[in-house]
Structure 1
Amino acid sequence: MTYYTEKGEEPINGKIEYFDHLTFWVGNAKQAAQWYCTHFGFKPLCYKGLETGCRDIVSHVIKQNKIIFVLQSALDEKNEEMAKHLIKHGDGVKDIAFSVIDLVPLIEKIREKGGKIVKEPWTEKDDDGHVMMATVQTYGDTTHTLVERKNFNGLFLPNYKGALFQPEFFNELPAANLQFIDHVVGNQPDQMMVPVSDWYEKVLQFHRFWSVDDKEVHTKYSALRSIVVTNYEETLKMPLNEPAPGLRKSQIQEYIDYYGSAGVQHIALNSNNIIDSIESLKKRGLEFLKIPDTYYETLKEKLKTSKTKVKEDMNMLQKLKILVDYDENGYLLQIFTKCVQDRPTLFLEVIQRHNHQGFGAGNFKSLFEAIEADQQTRGNL
């Protein structure tokens, strides 16, 4: 496991600040939005569709604290791009949007560095102001929309109206209290992780933050390599994974096979109190990976000789199947959902950090074994 301290030169042509929102392309946006609200604790924020004069795409926007998801579907067969995307990939994340300062010089720098501009800068406006955006291509069919919103005071983006649905029972469910997007993980085909990492460093002026190789992260059957890239301020993290050769098919390769290309494997959402969050999410019916009790027995023994002290009740962590990773500076707590659609592709993570900026490398083996158990039931191990 390696941490990197070299950040390179501070960008002077525009700045990427933080995650703005994630856009999912799905078969039924209304149902998908309601699923995330019911099971993950989001609330409907705003909407764009037939009722607002948009005739081709429907967008349901949901929010939880600083986390914004946009669920989109096509309204007719004319949208060939969305139709082909769904056939190839199934439901998943299409776009990872970044909030930026000074979009125009930033997009020119990206162009100069060889980045592919999918959509040139454009402006949308309404009575609340205007927003400037541009879209660039990243790995697979995934894109990054760059959003400059300094002149806008609306809920989300121009021309969105109030949410189409606001069921009262949402208010009766226990609050999940998830705070912000901690990181977004992209799976890459074998031998593509480094070229993609290099792309982020060259085109978006990101830098390496953390990495592990297959000697550190493996089970009896499978292994992975991972590089995490981040912006200059290190306010957003983008882990990039690739499979490594093993006796059987790794969960990274299973993802590639079913998604059809590189794509977003999971989204990590930060919590200030992971025990309360997971208790609430379980009451909401969310399913998580199962971790064996032997993991906690081993963990308790190791922690006896560690300088790091876990504040949370270990018995409660074991009951909820929350994983612990630590070093001499601090620790993190994390837990992973099962896949959130029929294809074994996208899942989500809940994470809490206590002075620990890693990504759970100490838990990768246990996580892989839990995923391999699910792979076995699918006949894909």
Structure 2
Amino acid sequence: MATGLENTNYGIEKIFADAEDFLPLNGTDHLELYVSNAKQAAHYYKTAFGFQSLAYSGLETGNKDYESYVVVQDKIRLVLTSPLKAGTPVGKHIDDHGDGVKVVALWVDDAEYSFNETVKRGAKPYLKPETKTDDHGEVKISGIHTYGETVHLFIERKNYQGVFLPGFKKWETTYNPLPIGLKFVDHMVGNVGWGEMNQWVEFYAKVMGFTQLISFDDKDISTDYTALMSKVMSNGNGRIKFPINEPAEGKKKSQVEEYLDFYAGAGIQHIAVATDNIIETVTAMYERGVEFLKVPATYYETVLDRVGEIDEDLEPLKELGILIDRDDEGYLLQIFTKPIEPRPTMFFEIIQRKGAQSFGKGNFKALFEAIEREQEVRGTL
């Protein structure tokens, strides 16, 4: 069974020289979402997003408190976890925040070193280093807190050959819709409270050795009604990128404020996943019922004047609502789903990079106006 990491090289080149990068990170190991119904959530991600069954933990594996379904597509692994009884930390998290990301697990060579180095630099411990074993070997795990109730786990799996982690068994099903071309996690965006962005920028720089790639202020990210500010942090090899948003003063309630109200605090706003063919991927997602934000057709009247020549025909991009932006390195194509949970909180971005290393600054105004139209319908603008 593929784990999604076989083709990743351990010798990863550092591409951002400013990153202190004392903490070697090989990539995103997995994301764990606490959800109210893991079985149904797994079915949704398989059906709508093209994930495949990978692993399971629950009553049948001796887990009496909660059950988890793991789904995989290329290098992306989602763990969907629900409580099996009342009064659990998982259940409280869902009560407080709704469905959302609890764990961003990072693949490392040495989980104990990663824990010690981050804690001595000021991280709050979440999980002291421990070793989990089964017939397939051992995995070492540790963890620290980050913004809100989100945590980072450090996963060392070089001595493990199992399907996912000890405590999980292979999950085999007859229902596995075809993948849709999602490759890996490109970046994960966190929303934090008023005036907290720089605090968490400093956290990722000091505690984890990241560098700041880009900064956007309320002049860059604003409409006639709402505004926000954002800074993008990355580790040295660029495998892990965390944009961090905070609200800014505007005439009405911004998307970040709406998120903070409904999530009841800071957390992961959206997960950006990469594809090599965004037209094929998004077409498949539409066919499977995924809903996307749409910008006005007038966006496409002038977009090529702004971004220049691209390889793709403009018409299918227009029909699907895919946005285009360019930086000094190339261009990118991106689109954003509507929130996929009952609360207007977490959503997904689908992104195809054609050289660009940026995050679509030229699309911010059109995108946020589209979000505002959704907020107006919800009565939360």
TM over 0.5: yes
Q: What does the per-residue CA deviation read over 1:146-169, in whole Å, with 9 as the maximum and x for residues that have no partner?
A: 1011101112111311216x243x
Q: Which amino acid aligns with 1:70?
A: V
Map of 1:311 onto structure 2: 311
Q: Counterpart of 1:94 in structure 2: which amino acid?
A: K
5 Å-filtered alignment, 1:208-357, equals: 208-303=212-307, 306=308, 309-357=309-357
Deviations 1:98-148 (A, max 9, x none): 001222222111121111111111111111110000111000000001101
> Helix, strand or coil for the counterpart of 2:161?
coil
1:54 aligns with 2:39: no
Quick one: which amino acid aligns to residue 147 of structure 2? Y
Instruction: State the match for 2:379 in structure 1.
Output: 379
The number of aligned residues is 367
5 Å-filtered alignment, 1:58-73, equals 58-73=67-82
Q: Distance in 2 between matches of 1:302 and 1:251?
A: 26
Q: Matched residues in 2 for 1:220 and 1:32: separation? A: 37
Number of the residue aligned with 1:134? 142
**Aligned equivalents of 2:143 and 2:113: distance in 1?**
14
Q: Comparing 292-301 with 44-53, which one deviates more in the overlay? A: 292-301
State the shift of 1:278 in Å. Answer: 0.6
Amino acid at match of 1:203: V
Q: CA offsets per residue over residues 209-253 of structure 1, 9 Å max, x none?
A: 222111111100011111111112221111101111001000011
Q: How far apart are 1:67 and its partner, in Å?
A: 0.3
- Counterpart position of 2:48: 39
Shift of 1:50: 0.5
Task: Give unmatched runs, 5+ long, in structure 1.
Answer: none
Identity of aligned residues (%): 46
Question: Please, which runs of 5 or more residues in structure 2 have no aligned partner?
Answer: 1-14
Equivalent-residue separation in structure 1 for 2:95 and 2:31 (angstroms): 20
Q: Which stretch shifts more, 248-257 or 327-336?
A: 327-336
By how many angstroms is 1:8 displaced? 4.1
Shift of 1:6: 5.2
The TM-score with structure 1 as length reference comes to 0.94
C-alpha spacing 1:10/1:380, structure 2 compared with 1 (3 Å)? closer
CA-to-partner distance for each residue in 1:162-212, whole Å, 9 max, x for gaps?
A: 216x243x33x5x31100000010001111011011011111111112221
Task: Report the aligned-residue RMSD.
Answer: 1.4
Structure 2 partner of 1:146: 154
**What is the aligned partner in structure 1 of residue 132 from structure 2?**
124
CA offset at residue 316 of structure 1? Answer: 0.7
TM-score with structure 2 setting the length:
0.94
After TM superposition, the structure 1 stretch with the greater mean CA deviation from structure 2, 98-107 or 282-291, is: 98-107
C-alpha distance in structure 2 between counterparts of 1:10 and 1:241, whole Å = 23
In the alignment, which residue of structure 2 is the partner of 1:192? Answer: 196
Change over 3 Å in CA distance of 1:162–1:321 after alignment to 2: same
In structure 2, what is the Cα distance between the partners aligned to 1:188 and 1:130? 36
Secondary structure of the residue aligned to 2:298 is helix
